[in-house]
């Protein structure tokens, strides 16, 4: 059973805690629920399932069951704006809608969408069968993840079951996850990093504590204490919050593992948390990855800090790194990753669901970096025009294209910020732009910083000179 | 009087009382209208109250009222009424 070997080897161990109710499901109970739901989803031909996710037991069962039933499963945010969900459904034509409310199911599947009642160990699973006639789906296609979080961008990463299983295994080894770890779901399950926490801990027979609360809510920390959680994952912004909250003040005697990915965390902050966890007898892991590599490509072993501060670690077990086309004497070049967790490719249309493996286990990350003599990777920058804001991936060129309707504009990424240089506009216009972008990208409006310039700096060939914009104070 | 229900201005005036200042901060942080039902406004009742907005709210309150919030208050800040209660702890008086 996909990821659930513990349902046979350690059936009585706790698998899931639903913090909202205090209910617990053992691995045997989870396996049984997944089996029941998978039975409904199995069919003669391969089908496409949209799985709307929250951090709850129904989501876990629906996701595992869909993959187990050999559906091509798209993980989506359950709070995705219905119009965006509908657009995705129109584009990809799902056969199944999992975890959707009646109205969302109708929006995606049409008025004739059929609800299916499933009794799955007191877990309120929601299944809707949509219109048949899904496009051809490649037999190896197992999981599809969005590259852009909640923005509903139609571009999806195509993963094989092997990608997910291998990455879960490599992460479990790299982080030395034991069955007594109790991670709290500090990140959404539909997000590759949040999903990897779920996958790697289920694989090791650990107990996952499910909550939808944010780090900034009292309830989150009550849950952490009440269920004796041992581990938490965070993006750079999460660590900004933790810094402010002060882990010592939160009184978390059971916390022993912190992990960080989803963007670059400043070395002084890495050092701060590394020291803090060491004092507590715990561990802090910095990691690097992309959805295109399922989740993780490198892990910085906790004991190699502060020695390797500034790096993101070594390739995970089963993976390998190379730097391509060194452009300076430090050996900076594009980071290329080889491993069994590399995606098959992207999907942007229904026809793409039929495509097979286009990358052969080789991922050109689009990031620039160097490798030291020990194989530790330092990320120097991005060769693609991508920024990470609050852990979300933003395509800068796409934003620029939107803004250029009003006049010449250039966008660069700052620390959890998007800095927009415009040759046009005034405060009122910027406020309106900010509002529109904020709504569309689901990013807090204060992440958008507008600067008026008389003229954008350009190269000899007329292209915008981004490096000089980066240097602007 | 002249301030009525207009919180669009970014700078607060000495003539604003604490209640009006608090509403202004909430409006600016969450981009909600001045005639919002503040008493029922809480974390999770509006989609834009996520962890990012929450930290912005904390920073904005600290600036507006010139205070430094303790950890338990940062995470206890779960609604508009709760915000008022917390500010009272920091000696902000609300003429009721």
Note the pLDDT of residue B79: 96
Going from the C-alpha of A440 to that of each of A84, A417, B32, B80, the distances in angstroms are: 10, 16, 17, 26
Of A122, A119, A116, A79, give the one whose Cα is nearest residue A98.
A116
Cα(A459)–Cα(A456) distance, integer angstroms: 10
What lies within 8 Å, CB to CB, of A221 at 6+ separation is A250, A252, B75
> Which residue has tokens 């202004």?
B24
* A249 with B71: Cβ contact below 8 A: yes
The chain-wide mean pLDDT, for chain A, equals: 92
Of A249, A245, A311, A237, give the one whose Cα is nearest residue A274.
A311
Is the confidence at residue B2, as pLDDT, over 50? Answer: no
Q: How many helices (H) and strands (E) does chain B have?
A: 4, 0
What lies within 8 Å, CB to CB, of A408 at 6+ separation is A422, A423, A424, A455, A456
Asked if residue B43 lies in contact with residue B20, where contact means CB atoms within 8 angstroms, the answer is: no
pLDDT tens track for A19-31: 999 999 999 999 9
> Which residue has tokens 């009382």?
B17
pLDDT band at A337 (very low <50, low <70, confident <90, very high): very high
Note the pLDDT of residue B3: 40
Q: Which range among A97-111, A138-152, A427-441, B35-49 shows the weakest confidence by mean pLDDT?
A: A138-152
pLDDT tens track for A32-82: 999 999 999 998 889 999 999 999 999 999 999 999 999 999 999 998 889
Across the interface, of B43, B71, B78, the residue whose CB is closest to A245 is B71
pLDDT tens track for A163-198: 999 999 999 999 999 999 999 999 999 999 999 999
Note the pLDDT of residue B12: 56
Rounded to two decimals, the pTM is 0.89
Cis amide leading into A306 (omega within 30): yes
What percent of chain A is modeled with pLDDT above 90?
A: 73
pLDDT band at A226 (very low <50, low <70, confident <90, very high): very high
Note the pLDDT of residue A401: 78
Any chain A CB within 8 A of the CB of B60?
A: no
Q: Which range among A35-39, A288-292, A430-434 shows the weakest confidence by mean pLDDT?
A: A430-434
Cα(A261)–Cα(A157) distance, integer angstroms: 19
Mean pLDDT of B40-68: 93
Closest residue, chain B, to A249 (C-alpha): B71
Across the interface, of B48, B51, B70, the residue whose CB is closest to A215 is B51
* End-to-end Cα, chain B, rounded Å: 17
**Between B70 and B13, residue with greater pLDDT:** B70
Q: What share of chain A is helix, strand, coil (3-state, %, to 5)?
A: 35, 25, 40
What percent of chain B is modeled with pLDDT above 90?
A: 71
Domains and CATH numbers, chain A: 389-470 (3.30.300.30)
Interface-testing mutation among A82, A188, A194, A217, with chain B (most B C-beta atoms within 10 A): A217
Any chain B CB within 8 A of the CB of A444?
A: yes
Note the pLDDT of residue A132: 65
Locate all alpha helices (DSSP H) within chain B, ordered by sequence: 18-30, 51-65, 71-76, 80-89
Burial class of residue A427, CB neighbours in 10 A (0-12, 13-18, 19+) = exposed
pLDDT band at A151 (very low <50, low <70, confident <90, very high): low
Compute the nearest-CA separation of B9 from chain A (Å). 12
Phi, psi torsion values for A222, nearest 5 degrees: -60, -45
* A447 with B51: Cβ contact below 8 A: no
* B51 with A245: Cβ contact below 8 A: no
Compute the nearest-CA separation of B19 from chain A (Å). 23
Residue A90 tokens, joined: 């129109």
Is the confidence at residue B60, as pLDDT, over 90? Answer: yes
Closest residue, chain B, to A447 (C-alpha): B52
Mean pLDDT of A339-367: 96
pLDDT band at B11 (very low <50, low <70, confident <90, very high): low
Cα(A234)–Cα(A194) distance, integer angstroms: 9
Note the pLDDT of residue A44: 83
pLDDT band at B96 (very low <50, low <70, confident <90, very high): low
What lies within 8 Å, CB to CB, of B11 at 6+ separation is none
> Which residue has tokens 């989870």?
A30
> What are the chain B neighbours of A435 within 8 Å (beta carbons)?
31
pLDDT band at B6 (very low <50, low <70, confident <90, very high): very low
Note the pLDDT of residue A296: 98
Closest residue, chain B, to A222 (C-alpha): B75
* B31 with A221: Cβ contact below 8 A: no
Domains and CATH numbers, chain B: 18-89 (1.10.1200.10)
- Strand, coil or helix: A74: strand
Cα(A220)–Cα(A223) distance, integer angstroms: 5
Burial class of residue A218, CB neighbours in 10 A (0-12, 13-18, 19+) = middle
Q: Which range among A3-17, A118-132, A156-170, A457-471 shows the weakest confidence by mean pLDDT?
A: A457-471
Closest residue, chain A, to B46 (C-alpha): A79
pLDDT tens track for B24-39: 999 999 989 999 999 9
Across the interface, of A216, A249, A250, the residue whose CB is closest to B51 is A216
Asked if residue A45 lies in contact with residue A68, where contact means CB atoms within 8 angstroms, the answer is: no
pLDDT band at A467 (very low <50, low <70, confident <90, very high): confident
Is the confidence at residue A150, as pLDDT, over 70? Answer: no
Mean pLDDT of B73-90: 96
Is the confidence at residue A201, as pLDDT, over 80? Answer: yes
> What are the chain B neighbours of A438 within 8 Å (beta carbons)?
31
Any chain A CB within 8 A of the CB of B51?
A: yes
* A240 with B75: Cβ contact below 8 A: no
Is the confidence at residue A134, as pLDDT, over 70? Answer: no
User: What is the DSSP secondary structure assignment for residue A210, as one 8-state letter?
Assistant: E
Mean pLDDT of A1-29: 95
Q: How many helices (H) and strands (E) does chain A have?
A: 14, 25
Is the confidence at residue A4, as pLDDT, over 60? Answer: yes
Mean pLDDT of A243-271: 95
pLDDT tens track for A213-225: 999 999 999 999 9
Interface-testing mutation among A216, A242, A243, with chain B (most B C-beta atoms within 10 A): A216
Note the pLDDT of residue A473: 65
Interface-testing mutation among B75, B76, B82, with chain A (most A C-beta atoms within 10 A): B75
Any chain B CB within 8 A of the CB of A217?
A: yes
Compute the nearest-CA separation of B2 from chain A (Å). 23
Cα(A418)–Cα(A331) distance, integer angstroms: 29
Note the pLDDT of residue A303: 97
What lies within 8 Å, CB to CB, of A182 at 6+ separation is A17, A206, A207, A208, A209, A227, A228, A229, A230, A231, A254
* B75 with A216: Cβ contact below 8 A: yes
Side-chain half-sphere exposure of A312, counting CA atoms within 13 A? 27
């Amino acid at each position: 059973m996909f990821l659930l070997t513990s349902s046979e080897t350690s059936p009585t161990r706790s698998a899931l805690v639903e913090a909202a109710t205090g209910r617990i499901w053992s691995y045997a109970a989870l396996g049984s629920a997944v089996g029941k739901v998978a039975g409904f989803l199995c069919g003669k031909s391969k089908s496409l399932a949209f799985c709307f996710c929250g951090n709850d037991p129904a989501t876990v069962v629906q996701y595992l069951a869909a993959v187990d039933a050999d559906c091509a499963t798209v993980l989506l945010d359950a709070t995705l704006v219905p119009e965006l969900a509908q657009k995705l459904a129109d584009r990809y034509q799902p056969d199944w809608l999992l975890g959707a409310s009646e109205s969302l199911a109708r929006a995606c599947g049409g008025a004739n969408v059929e609800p299916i009642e499933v009794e799955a160990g007191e877990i309120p699973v929601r299944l809707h069968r949509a219109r048949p006639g899904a496009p051809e789906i490649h037999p190896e296609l197992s999981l599809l993840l969005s590259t852009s979080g909640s923005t509903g961008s139609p571009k999806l990463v195509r993963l094989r079951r092997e990608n997910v299983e291998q990455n879960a295994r490599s992460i479990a080894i790299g982080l030395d996850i034991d069955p007594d770890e109790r991670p709290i779901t500090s990140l959404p399950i539909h997000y590759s990093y949040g999903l990897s926490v779920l996958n790697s801990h289920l694989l090791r027979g650990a107990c996952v504590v499910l909550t939808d609360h944010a780090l900034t809510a009292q309830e989150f920390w009550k849950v952490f204490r009440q269920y004796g959680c041992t581990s938490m994952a965070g993006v750079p912004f999460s660590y900004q919050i933790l810094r402010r909250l002060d882990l010592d003040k939160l009184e978390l005697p059971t916390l022993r593992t912190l992990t960080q990915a989803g963007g670059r965390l400043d070395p002084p902050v890495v050092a701060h948390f590394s020291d803090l966890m060491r004092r507590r007898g715990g561990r802090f892991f910095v990691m690097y990855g992309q959805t295109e590599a399922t989740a993780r490509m490198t892990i910085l072993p906790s004991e190699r800090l502060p020695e390797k501060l500034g790096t993101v670690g070594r390739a995970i077990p089963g993976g390998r790194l190379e730097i391509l086309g060194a452009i300076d004497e430090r050996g900076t070049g594009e980071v290329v990753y080889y491993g069994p967790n590399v995606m098959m490719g992207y999907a942007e249309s229904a026809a793409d669901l039929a495509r097979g493996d286009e990358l052969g286990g080789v991922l050109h990350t689009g990031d620039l970096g160097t490798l030291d003599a020990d194989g530790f990777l330092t990320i120097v920058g991005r060769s693609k025009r991508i920024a990470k804001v609050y852990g979300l991936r933003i395509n800068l060129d796409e934003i620029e294209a939107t803004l250029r309707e009003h006049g010449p504009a250039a966008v660069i990424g700052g620390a959890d910020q998007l800095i927009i240089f415009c040759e046009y506009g005034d405060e009122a216009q910027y406020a309106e732009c900010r509002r529109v972008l904020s709504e569309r990208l689901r990013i807090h409006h204060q992440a958008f910083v507008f600067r008026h310039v008389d003229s954008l700096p350009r190269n000899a060939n007329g292209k915008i000179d981004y490096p000089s914009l980066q240097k602007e104070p | 009087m002249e301030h009525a229900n207009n919180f669009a201005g970014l700078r607060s005036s000495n003539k604003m009382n604490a209640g009006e200042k608090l509403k202004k901060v909430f409006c600016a942080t969450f981009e909600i209208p001045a005639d919002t039902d503040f008493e029922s406004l809480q974390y999770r009742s509006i989609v834009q109250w996520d962890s990012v907005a929450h930290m912005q709210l904390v920073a904005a309150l600290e600036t507006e009222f010139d205070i430094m919030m303790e950890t338990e208050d940062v995470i206890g800040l779960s609604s508009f009424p709760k915000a008022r209660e917390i500010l009272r702890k920091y000696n902000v008086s609300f003429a009721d």
